[in-house]
Amino acid sequence: LEAAPMASLPERAGLALRRELAPLFFAVFIFLFLQDAVYNRLGSSNGKFISLVDTCRSVAQYRSGLPDTIGSNFGVRRMLLITFASVLVKFASSSLVSVLLGKVPIVFSGLRHICFFFLGFALMWFSPGDIAYRTMRSSRAVKLLVDMGGGLYKMRKVIFAVEAATEVHGHFAFALLVAVLAVDGTTLSRRAFHWVEGRQAEQARRSARRKGGASGDKALKRTLSDLYHAGGRGAKKTLLTTVLPLTVVTGLVWGAASSEWISGITDDSFLGLRAALLSLFIWRAGALDELARIHHESMAMGDQVDAIKDGYSPPSKNKVL
C-alpha cells in the first residue's frame, strides 16, 4: 500500500525542484535583458544575450515547422541538412546586407556569431530530455520573455537599416531594402525552407500510396505548378506582412533621422519614436498575445476556483456518524 506514494516521490521532487528553479531562471533572464537594454539602449546594436535569444527563437520556429520535430528520429545525414538549413536561415539575409554595405559577411567577421548560433542550436535540439525546446513551445511565460527579446532585436535592426543607409549616402529605397532583409530576412528564408520540406514530405507520401510511380513529366509539371501557386501566395503574404509594414516603419525612422543627418544620429535621437517602435515590434513578435493568453487563462482559473469554493459546504460538526 505504501509503494505507490514512494513511486511518485521522484516526480514530486522533480516538480518541486522545477518550481524553485523557475523564479531563478526568470530573474536571470530579466537581469540579462535589462543589462542589454542599459548598455545598448534603444540603439542599432544588439548585445550577446539578445542575439542568443533571437537565435534560440529562430531555431525553435524553424524546427516547429518541420514535418517531424523529434530529433531522435533523424539520422546523421538528416541532422546535418537541418543544421545547414538553420545556418542559412540565420545568416543568409544578414550576410547579404553586409555585402550590400560593402562589408565582410557577419558569419565570417568573427567566431562569436557562429559560436552563439551553435549554442542556441544545441539548446533547441540536444538539451537533456529536449526540455529547452519543449519549454519554448509550451511555456507561455517563456514565450512571452523570448518574444520580447525578439521584438527588441528586430526594432534595433530597423534603426540599423536607416543608420547604415545614411552612412553610405543611400536613399530611402536602399534603407527599405536593408530593413526588409535585416528584420524579416530570417522569416522569409524559413518560410522557403519549410515549403521545400513540406513539398518533399508530400511527395514521399504520394510515392508510398502509389503502386507505380508517376512519370517524370507529370511529377515535374506538378512541382512547377505547386511552385508557381506557392510563389504567388508567398509574394502576396510578403507584401502585406513585411514590405508594407516595414515601409511605414522605415519611413517614420527615415523622417525622424533626416533632421539629424548633419549632426549625426545617436542612441538618444528620437527616443519617443524608438519606444513606440519597440512596443510595435514586441506586439508583432507575439509577446502581447502571449500576455493576453496568460491573463485570460489566469482569470478563467480564478473563476473555477471561486465556483468550487461557492459550491463547497463543510461537513456539519453535529452530524452523527
- Nearest C-alpha neighbor of 173 from the set 160, 184, 161: 161
- How many CB atoms lie under 10 A from the CB of residue 284? 21
pLDDT in the model for residue 63: 93
Produce one character per residue of 95-113: b if its CB has 16 or more CB atoms within 10 Å, e if not: bbbbebeeeeebbeeeeeb
Ramachandran area for residue 32 (φ above 0: left; ψ -120 to 50: alpha; else beta): alpha
253-312 tens-digit pLDDT: 999 888 776 666 777 788 899 999 999 999 999 999 999 999 999 999 988 888 888 775
User: Is 6 a residue whose pLDDT tops 60?
Assistant: no
pLDDT in the model for residue 44: 87
pLDDT in the model for residue 54: 94
Q: Are 140 and 292 in contact (CB under 8 A)?
A: no
Task: Provide the residue type at 9 as one letter.
Answer: L
To the nearest whole percent, how much of the chain has pLDDT over 70? 81
User: Is 27 a residue whose pLDDT tops 90?
Assistant: yes
Scan for cell 525553435, then name that residue.
60
pLDDT averaged over every residue in the chain: 84
Dist. CA 19–CA 141, nearest whole Å? 13
User: Is 319 a residue whose pLDDT tops 50?
Assistant: no
